[in-house]
Amino acid sequence: MVGPLAEIGCRIRRPRTLATWLIDRLFDHVFDQCFGISSSTRASLSSLNLEAVDRAGYQAISYLDFPRLIDGVNADGIFIDFGSGAGRCVCLAAQQSFERVIGVELSESLCGLARANIRTRRITNAQIECADATAYQIPPEATVFCFNNPFRGKILEAVLANIIRSAAEHSRAVTVLASGSPIDAEFFRQFQEAQGLQLCWRTILPTGCIGMVFMNSSPFPQIAPLEHDARDHCNLPHEPASDRDDDRGLPRSTRALVKVNGQKSLRASRV
């Protein structure tokens, strides 16, 4: 897990997205009011009585980041948000053309808030499942899975294995969306090292968070896994590869992501 001081330090070193990040943090509750839901409250594991290894506290995905993350993803079948919290991502995804949207959340209190938000928005194609993500039975029609840094380690490993197994048993293409802090290489590395998933593209979201899209099959060349550079705590790229002239001056861990089989990674390579 990453600490708040490390997060702030990394953001300060990334002036290109610093202003957007600050606006997002300061006015998140205002965006909530405009959208008509209540989801901006952050909740620690202790406040939810869910303290355990590999779990993370609740913070909703940014209103600014979600459209960029899902841009270009086929909105077919069922969308599942793991660690859905108060349901912001569920409500946003329900505006797409998915057949159904499901939020999977362990906290009963957050599930109650999410259901209230769904009712407030009068959404008819969304539901909240209060369940352990590792034990959740994935519907065979599920095609898109979203993770806004809800957990990692053994929990994430088990959930990803369930997704890949479901895609094999009920043959279909699945898309996995991952978003999180620019300093949280451990979280993203698990997706890149998961057997059966291939990184299709990665980008810097408007607030400076990292967004990655994976598929169980893809026509795009595979991007090299993350390398850990202990000297650089902010060891993920802070600019989209398509917006850069070159990668000179970047740490080794960043260049590993920018290069795809010796070529620059183009954000235009989408699912």
pLDDT at 264 over 50: no
Task: Tell me the DSSP string of 39-52.
Answer: ----B-TTTTT---
pLDDT for the residue 9: 66
DSSP state of 241: G
pLDDT at 75 over 70: yes
3-state secondary structure of 60: coil
- b/e per residue 17-54 (b: at least 16 CB within 10 A): beebbeebeeebeebbeebebbbbbebeeeebebeeee
Of 20-29, 66-75, 159-168, 227-236, where does mean pLDDT reach its minimum?
A: 227-236
pLDDT at 256 over 70: no
3-state secondary structure of 125: coil
* Average confidence (pLDDT) over 222-240: 38
What is the three-state SS of 201-229? EEEECCCCCEEEEEECCCCCCCCCCCCCC
Fill in the amino acid letter for 128.
I
Each residue of 161-207: pLDDT tens digit? Answer: 999 999 999 999 999 999 998 888 889 999 999 999 999 999 989 99
pLDDT-based confidence at residue 270 (cuts at 50, 70, 90): very low
Chain-centre distance for alpha carbon 59: 11
Each residue of 19-31: pLDDT tens digit? Answer: 787 888 788 999 9
State the DSSP H helix or E strand holding residue 127, giving kind and residue range, or none if neither. Answer: strand 126-130
CB 65 within 8 A of CB 205: yes
CB 60 within 8 A of CB 89: yes
Each residue of 236-245: pLDDT tens digit? Answer: 333 333 333 3
Chain-centre distance for alpha carbon 30: 22
pLDDT for the residue 261: 34
pLDDT at 226 over 50: no
CB 92 within 8 A of CB 85: no
pLDDT at 7 over 90: no
DSSP state of 94: T
Q: How many CB atoms lie within 10 A of CB 198?
A: 18
CATH architecture of the domain with range 4-264: 3-Layer(aba) Sandwich (3.40)
pLDDT at 113 over 90: yes
Averaged pLDDT score across all residues of the chain: 80
pLDDT-based confidence at residue 43 (cuts at 50, 70, 90): confident
Q: Find the helix packing angle between 185-193 and 153-169, rounded to 10°.
A: 30
- b/e per residue 164-192 (b: at least 16 CB within 10 A): bebbeeeebebbbbbbbbbbbbebbebbb
CA gyration radius, the chain: 18
pLDDT for the residue 1: 53
pTM, two decimals, is 0.77
